[in-house]
A and B are shown apart, each in its own frame.
Chain A
Amino acid sequence: MGKNPLHTKLCDLLGIDFPIIAFTHCKDVVAAVVNAGGFAVLGEAMHTPDGIAADIKWIRSRVGDKPFGIDLVLPASAPDASTLEQLLAKIPDEHKRYAAYIKEKYDVPDPKGQQALHQWGGLTHEIARKQLDVILDERVPVFVSGLGSPAFMLKAAHERGMKVFGLIGKARQAKREIEAGVDVIIAQGYDAAGHTGPIGTFSIVPEVVAIAGDTPVVAAGGVTTGRHLAASICLGAAGVWTGTLWLASRESDNDMIIKEKLIAATADDTVYSKSVSGFAMRVLKCPWTEEWAKPEAPRVLSSPYQMLLASDYIQAANDHRRADLMFEAAGQGVSFIDSMKPAKQIVNDMVEEALSVFEEITGEAADA
């Protein structure tokens, strides 16, 4: 086969060994993946600017000069500016009664403390901007915009020697961001965990590759194995963006109950539901999602009303560690997560499997 098919332009751009990007909310996973030769991005959307600065310092102390990324959710449309009380008052009684019915049916206890939702108070333009200022001040090697276009801050980032990635769910948004000059575009398909676009990974990736020119495209959504990595390369991607893959890793700070649920789950145990937040998102099925899917359930509210309605259940499930109630965002690739492996082993297994797939296809081994 000759040339190593896993040595892509993403590897050259970032100076990494393997074109595997881990997206995680856990700093330990970031350090482990980066030190294993991959690349990792820490999701910091709900962190304060000071918290982000502390996390960056912590990561640098563990990975040295190796590159890593920080992901923020730049808003793309403006959230409502009402107070929490105003928002709560607008939730219809029918919906409150249905939430109370679920609480009683499943014996959901009260949360132990004030709900985190209420403490945060919303994510405004101003907070997003302050978070971004920290990223720029710290000259984080890679900034990833998980939603809104980062075009307005590209010049400032590039002047600081940073690279900027954009994550998109539609080809037209990819075209906009590529033309604006993002360094990498992440094409995310419907298979992914959490809030995704409506287009499947197998369709969105080559569609974006076709318009990307020299900009590396990274495939996201359902990517969990070396076979997925090989397939993504064949689709024209220069690497993969993986999230669910790390949720049950040894280093992940997820609750052990969630890790066990993820290991036991198959793709059929995930559901694309609006019942958690009012936005359609892929999560593990739980009583809350199942009850809201029933024909007798009221129509799910929009965001942030449905999130306010769900917050009592979510907080109680986590506070009391009720395995029957807890859930997590998970992609359809969850079927392939079958043990709690160290992140380094996950990277190595993925690389080894991808190379053997290419060998299977070509009949030749790749150059190391």
Chain B
Amino acid sequence: MANDSLPSTMATVPGFDPARAGKSAECDGGGAIVGTRYAGREEFAGTLTGEYVDHGDPPWRWYLLKDLVRRPEGYPGDAVWCLAENLFVAGEPV
């Protein structure tokens, strides 16, 4: 169940950032938990494909992280979309 599609009816603009393609990255991720009023943190590490999607205006940018080498225990996929500002890319300043 690779999580490589972001379903939305919002205006979305896909793009590709060649400078980031193939780079290792970590994502301090997470989100709201359905059925609760709580949020949860999840950590991922993997390789950026370079693909991104901008949602809405002002643009809310998400990058696709694949070939995960770190993911929450039991996470069923091998890919995750990560919020740009929660992504830490190897070789780029924090």
Contact = CB atoms under 8 A, between A and B. Distances in A.
A155 interface: yes
Q: Which secondary structure dominates where chain A touches chain B? A: loop
Contacts of B52: none
Given A155-B58, A302-B76, A279 B41 contact: yes
Contact of A80 (B28, B39, B77, B84): B77
B82 interface: yes
Interface in A70-91: 73-82, 90
B91 to A, nearest CB: 15
B48 interface: no
A195 B39 contact: yes
A285 interface: no
Contacts of B73: 299-300, 302
A335 to B, nearest CB: 21
B42 A303 contact: yes
B32 A73 contact: yes
Contacts of A62: none
Contacts of B41: 76, 147, 169, 195-197, 279
A147 B10 CA distance: 21
Interface in B1-46: 1, 3, 5-10, 27-42, 44
Interface in A155-199: 155-156, 169-170, 172-173, 175-177, 180, 194-197
B74 A278 contact: yes
Interface stretch (A117-125, A289-297, A357-365): A117-125
Contacts of B83: 74-77, 148-149
Interface string A275-291: 01111110000000000
Contact of B37 (A43, A79, A121, A302): A43
B35 A311 contact: yes
Contact of B86 (A153, A173, A305, A314): A173
Given A172-B94, A299-B73, A303-B33, A194 B1 contact: no
Nearest to A177: B85
A37 interface: no
Interface residues of A, number: 68
How many chain B residues sit at the interface, stated as a range, is: 35 or more
B31 A305 contact: no
B72 to A, nearest CB: 5
B34 A76 contact: no
Contacts of B8: 124-126
B30 A300 contact: no
A115 interface: yes
A173 B82 CA distance: 14
Interface of B: 1, 3, 5-10, 27-42, 44, 55-56, 58-62, 72-77, 80-86, 88, 94
Interface of A: 25, 43, 45-46, 73-82, 90, 115-118, 120-126, 128-129, 146-149, 151-153, 155-156, 169-170, 172-173, 175-177, 180, 194-197, 276-281, 299-308, 311, 314, 329
Given A81-B5, A126-B8, A279-B40, 20 more contacts: A45-B37, A46-B36, A76-B27, A82-B1, A116-B35, A117-B34, A125-B8, A125-B10, A129-B10, A147-B30, A149-B83, A149-B85, A169-B41, A170-B28, A173-B28, A180-B85, A194-B38, A195-B30, A279-B30, A303-B72
22 contacts: A46-B32, A75-B32, A76-B29, A77-B83, A79-B3, A79-B31, A80-B77, A81-B6, A129-B60, A147-B31, A147-B32, A148-B86, A176-B86, A279-B42, A280-B40, A299-B74, A300-B73, A303-B72, A305-B76, A307-B33, A311-B35, A329-B38
